């Protein structure tokens, strides 16, 4: 006796898919050395400077505040940290 193949149902998500929209072709930008700052700036084919995004701000996720757990109201300092440690 031959084992029958299991029914193959189409996954639910496939029925909800549609093609991606067409991609827009952007002009090629090139890096040029800025004589004043000695850093690279991006220039489009027309010679216009391409705006750059701001840098990420350094997070202060590990910044701890002083705790007051002692009975006299003084802060328990000594293990508190300030700033990132990476």
The whole-model pTM stands at: 0.36
What pLDDT is stored for residue 31 in this prediction? 92
CA–CA dist 66, 54 (Å, integer): 32
Q: Note the Cα 85 to chain centre separation in Å.
A: 20
Q: For 1-55, how does the pLDDT look when each residue is reduced to its tens digit (9 = 90+)? A: 555 556 788 888 888 888 889 998 888 889 999 899 899 999 998 989 888 777 6
What pLDDT is stored for residue 11 in this prediction? 86
What pLDDT is stored for residue 8 in this prediction? 80
Which DSSP helix (H) or strand (E) runs through 13?
A: helix 12-16
């Amino acid at each position: 006796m031959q084992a029958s193949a299991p029914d193959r149902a189409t996954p639910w998500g496939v029925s909800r898919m549609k093609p991606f929209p067409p991609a827009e072709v952007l002009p090629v930008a090139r890096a040029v050395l800025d004589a004043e700052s000695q850093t690279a700036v991006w220039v489009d084919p027309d010679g216009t400077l391409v705006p750059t995004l701001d840098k990420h701000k350094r997070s202060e996720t590990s910044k701890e505040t002083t705790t007051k757990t002692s009975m006299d109201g003084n802060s328990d300092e000594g293990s508190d940290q300030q700033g990132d440690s990476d």
